[in-house]
Amino acid sequence: MIPLIFPAIVYLRIVFITAMINLATILLILISCRCINIWPLTSFLTKYPWFKRFFKWHCYVWYVLLPSVLIHAVFALSIVGFPF
Q: Is 37 or 52 the better-scoring residue by pLDDT?
A: 52
Model pTM score: 0.80
Residue (of 24, 73, 31) closest to 50 by Cα position = 31
Q: What is the mean pLDDT of residues 25-35?
A: 83
Residue 15: count other Cβ atoms within 10 Å of its Cβ. Answer: 19
Structural contact between residues 77 and 3, judged by C-beta atoms closer than 8 angstroms = no
What single-letter amino acid sits at 39?
W
